[in-house]
Amino acid sequence: MSNTMQYKGYTAGMNFDTEDQVIVGRVLDIDDIIAFHGESVAEFQTQFHAAVDAYLAASIALGSEPDKPASGKVMLRIAPEIHAAALKAAARSGTSLNKWAEATLGKAARKSVARANVHGVI
């Protein structure tokens, strides 16, 4: 049994607050804070959807890209922290993660080949 819920690529963590008798939620795996609560699972789900929709609308209104969760999968498995850092680096360079990764891997590969050529390996 999982204490998470999915919506539009975002995952909500669920915790029951025994004092207030509500289910407290927070979107996981992003730097921005999206929190909400509900008195039932149905209300929790409604509030989760509303919170994500409001976050996405606010991002558009502010002209910024919404933070998106990093899955850790980019045609290979890497640590989620590295994936998140790569997502941010790509955003700073104004390109997609695929284009940024292609350029970054290309530079690293060319540098490695050049170094190997200098040392007579290739």
For residue range 58-70, list pLDDT tens digits in order: 999 999 999 998 7
11-15, 108-112, 113-117: which is most confident: 11-15
Q: How far is CA 20 from CA 1, 15, 16, 48, in A?
A: 23, 12, 9, 18
> For 16-31, how does the pLDDT look when each residue is reduced to its tens digit (9 = 90+)?
999 999 999 999 999 8
pLDDT at residue 72 tops 80: no
